[in-house]
Each structure stands twice: as structure tokens, then as C-alpha cells.
Structure 1
Amino acid sequence: MEIKPKVDIINPAYQSSKGRLFAGTSGVLKTSASKNAWAQLVNPLHSNVNLYVSFFALTNFSSKLVTADLVVNADPPGTPTLSSDVSVLKLASHNKPVGQILFNPNVSGSFSGGRIVGTRALGPERTELGFRVDGRLIIEPGTNAMVFLCSRSAATSQIEFEWFESEEIF
């Protein structure tokens, strides 16, 4: 009897092969005792796709501790900036993401509404996975996931999101 090889392909690799896997970063986020910052992955209301978050990563460039809350469906303070640092991960693909990374690098106040689903303490001069959710965090049209940052002293951070987009639920 002939044994045939079996190959397991992880879902992000499959989604990337279809040109549906995207990654991007916020701009530089600056927090202090009186200022906060945030980055948000948003699915526009009439997009007709779901965003399946693979992971998000937190980078703390400073020597101070930064606290990060993962918040779903919140309204952040301040005026958002649209990140231009987003790309499809199948490099020859011309697909454009529907999902948007919005951020505000330095705001007063906190978010309203929404729900905190996790909190992380990010040590100095580190990059860490915030949560590895492997597509289990589904951002449907008109919803969002936000990382809200604060610190007790001046700190500089950045947030990275990776997600794939599909009309189907698996």
C-alpha cells in the first residue's frame, strides 16, 4: 500500500494564497500621565465582508511600562487618522483591504461604550503579541476592535494588526 503525503496548511497561509490576508500598523503612539493613545481595526458598516483577526502585536519603544486594553465596539476620543501602512501579504496581489486601521497618537480622555475584553502590561523596549486569536475575533460590518494605551510617564508605542477578509463564515 502506498502512503501518500499529507500537508497541513495553516489558515493564514491559505488566506494569504488567496490574497485575502492583510497587515498594517498604526502610526507612532505617544502616551504620558495626561495623554492616551489608541489604534483601531474598523470594518465599515456596508462592507459586506467580515474581518477575521489573526493577531495584533504591541511594541513599546520606550523604557517605561505601557498598559493596553483590548476594547470591542468602543467610540474612541479625538479625531482618527487613517493609517496608510497597510498591505496585502500576497505580494503580487492587487487586492485592497476593506478593513481600516484608524489611530490617534495622543489624546485626552478615554473611550466611551464598548467592552474591555483583555488588558496587557507591555514591558519596556519589547514587542509582544497582544492576543493570538487566529481568526476567532470576527469584526463584522459596522464593528471594531481597539487597543487603548495609557502610561504613567512618557512612552512611545505602535500597534500592528493582521487579518483576513471573507464574506463567508467558516
Structure 2
Amino acid sequence: MAKHPFSHQPPYFFGMTDMDMYMQMGYYPYPGQTSGEHPDANTAIPLPTAMAMQCKYYLGQTEPFTAGGGNPAWAALVNPLRSEVHLFVNEFVITNRSASHSAEAQLWFGKAASLGDATVSQLVTPGFVQLSPCPQPQGQIAYHSAPLRISGTASATRIISPSSSAAAEKAGHWILGPGTALVFFFSGERAAVDLVVSFGWWEQPIYR
């Protein structure tokens, strides 16, 4: 019987150094490596990137909405009560589309159920874009033109200049458990402005 054409190829590890072979096999450090020796192949991957590679990172935004001129409004990242995940907030962006008036945003943390009715944005996507899609997120981006009624705490205030954006990276140290929300509230007492609010976050199952 004729031999398979690949039968004459050398073994996969043929010609590799000890370091290369042990790293290919998943062993680190390799035998004989000194405590102060670090191979050049050691690369740190940022946590948000690692979450995106696992189909756990999501980002999205509200539709444009108006606040001010007597009409308050809010936008929120919501973790539904029975989601069974934690939301780790990585970034947010507040865009003031008005060319002449600034906007004031109050940051609130509180219970999602007290927000009441709202529009849930469909402008959300996984951070890993591929032909085989990632699972749908548990977290939701919601917004509403109405007074804010939330059982929670106001923790910060930001002023957004006309035709500009205010953005921040939180690196996951804002964490939303099931049934909670991160809310930006815009008072109706200022001049009317058009706004868009964006969020980026990753999701991890709750281990009990």
C-alpha cells in the first residue's frame, strides 16, 4: 500500500527550541527558565479585548432625544432583574448635538424597576463582529422623556458643551447587578438640547 504523501514530513516540534516547544504545548515557564527570564512572546491582552473575544462585550447608543425647555429626560444602562449576569461598565459617551446650548447630566445609580416605562434602544451590537453572531446581551440601553423617578443615589454631575461629547473609560469598576441601572438625568430647567448617550460594557455570569 502506498504511503500517505504527508507521512514523510518531520514531526511538528522538529527543530524547535526547548522554549518554543514548551510554549506550544502550553507549559510556562519551561524547564530551565530562570526566575528573571521572560520570553519575548509574553503579551498582555486588555481585559475588554479578552471579553470581546469571548463574545461578552457589547456597545450601543440611544436614538437622539431632546431634554430641556421644560421637558426633562434620561438615558440608562439597565441590568434586568433576572438577567443572571453582572454588567461591567467600560465606557460611556454623552453627545450634545446642540450648536448653542450646553447640557447638564446627573449620574445616578439605583433600582431599574423604579424607572418605569421607557424606550429600549435597538442600536446595540457585540464588540466581536463575525458571521456567526454572538449571543444577544442581557443589558439594555433605555431612554425616556420624563421626570426621573429612581430609588438610588446621585453621584456626579457633568456639563457638556455645545456640539461636543463627554466621555470616560471606567475599565469595569462600575458594576451593575441584576435589577439595577446606571442613569444619566437631564433636567428640564435648562435650554432644550438634542442628545445621544452611548455605553460600552461586558457581561459575566453570576457564580453562586
TM exceeds 0.5?
yes
Instruction: Give 1 or 2: higher helix fraction.
Output: 2
Return the offset for 1:102: 1.0
Of residues 110, 126, 129 in structure 2, which corresponds to 1:73? 110
The answer on whether the counterparts of 1:30 and 1:37 sit within 8 Å (CA) in structure 2 is yes
Tell me how far apart the structure 1 counterparts of residues 199 and 97 of structure 2 sit (CA, whole Å).
Answer: 17
Runs of 5+ unmatched residues, structure 2: 1-32
Q: Which amino acid aligns with 1:45?
A: L
Contact 1:41 1:101 in 2 (8 A): yes
Q: Cα gap change, 1:112/1:45 in structure 2, threshold over 3 Å: closer, same or farther?
A: closer
Structure 2 residue 132 is the aligned partner of structure 1 residue 95: no
SS at match of 2:141: strand
Aligned pair 1:13/2:65, yes or no? no
Match of 1:23 in 2: 59
- Would the aligned equivalents of 2:91 and 2:169 in 1 still touch at CA under 8 Å? yes
Structure 1 ranges of 4+ moved more than 4 A: none
CA deviations 1:62-89 (Å, max 9, x no partner) are: 0211001110115336x30010001111
SS at match of 1:112: coil
Are residue 137 (structure 1) and residue 186 (structure 2) matched? no
Note if contact 1:38-1:76 (Cα within 8 Å) is conserved in structure 2: no
Shift in alpha-carbon separation, 1:141–1:112, aligned structure 2, 3 A: closer
Hey, which of these two has a bigger chunk of strand by percent? 1
> What is the percent sequence identity of the aligned residues?
27
Amino acid at match of 1:137: W
Relative to the length of structure 2, the TM-score reads 0.74
> Which residue number in structure 2 is paired with residue 86 of structure 1?
124
**Matched positions, count:** 165
